[in-house]
Amino acid sequence: MKQKTWVGLLTLMLTAPLVMGQAKDFPNRPVKVIVPYTAGSGSDTSARFFGEKLAAILGQPFVVENRPGASGVISVMTVKSAPADGYSILLASNSPLSVNAVTIKDLSYDPLKDLKPLSGLTRGMNAYVVASNSKLNTLADLVAVAKMGRQPLNAGSYSDGYQLALEWLANVMGVKFNYIPYKGGAQVFTDVMGNQLDFGLVDMGGVLPLLKSGRLRALAVSGEKRHAEFPNVPTVSESGYPEYVNYAWTSFCVRSETPDDVTAKLADALQKVLATSEARDFVRKMGAELMPLAPDAMRKFQRNEIDRFRHIADMAGFKPH
């Protein structure tokens, strides 16, 4: 036992400096930022902005690679299969980090065990939108029509997370919606404007230009308070559903086995970026806000989000697929 103990201690003493010293010259080559969405999307734009700012601080390029598909699973598995050395970062949103754990049966990764957060980045509220000529003007109108109609209203969106958010709203309203899934926001916008959908649940940042031009109208937003650019649009919570608050959010994370000193170096650099006026201006133009949660706070937030979505799924009778 004593010999084994000494061998173990000797091994630890020899390897510890190697492990703890990995951040000294990190990064010494380009860092990949894996994005689960297409080029030009809001998440992609965020990844490029924050990657550029990290490059300025850390002295190496941060190169964005778009790996869309399968609700973010493809991108997560790309990072999970890469070396745990900090050179592959995941731009993660609520879908791969919290929603998938609830909605996908036999998920090929564990969002808590396989990944660890570097920082929260942004959060943006959602909007319930209708065509400019819709007879629906408020959420109260939506409830009244939904209760009177023989057929459920057609509601469209483009992720399991949004479907759960719609199921949650239907549950607290005591109505039923016919959910129609889409692959992206653009087609939802088109079908709402063309009255092929009664309403849509969409990301506020993506729909801003159409709301400003008057081609779509917002019945309500899902934030804790009203959106700064649309002060006349009420929140869902102030429209009679006080517990209803929902955001789409983004963060950076790496493989859980990544050395702590490398993780700390990236996390510290991110906090410096998030504290700048440039970062505040960037997210404001996107119609969002900063979510500068440090690693421990981001992990707690992620756990709470998984619990929240699991509660919504149970309440709505949503079955994993």
Place domain 2-124+248-316 in its CATH homologous superfamily: Bordetella uptake gene, domain 1 (3.40.190.150)
Domain 125-239 classification at class level: alpha beta
Which three-class secondary structure state does DSSP give residue 33? strand
State the span(s) of the chain assigned CATH 3.40.190.150. 2-124+248-316
- Please state, in angstroms and rounded to a whole number, the distance separating the CA atoms of residues 213 and 216: 8
- Report the predicted TM-score, pTM, of the whole model to 2 decimal places: 0.88
- Please state, in angstroms and rounded to a whole number, the distance separating the CA atoms of residues 2 and 204: 63
Helices and strands (H, E) in the chain, number of each type: 12, 10
Q: What digits encode the pLDDT tens for the residues 123-172?
A: 999 999 999 999 999 999 999 999 998 899 999 999 999 999 999 999 99
Q: What digits encode the pLDDT tens for the residues 216-249?
A: 999 999 999 999 999 999 999 999 999 999 999 9
- Longest CA pairwise span in the chain (Å): 82
State the span(s) of the chain assigned CATH 3.40.190.10. 125-239
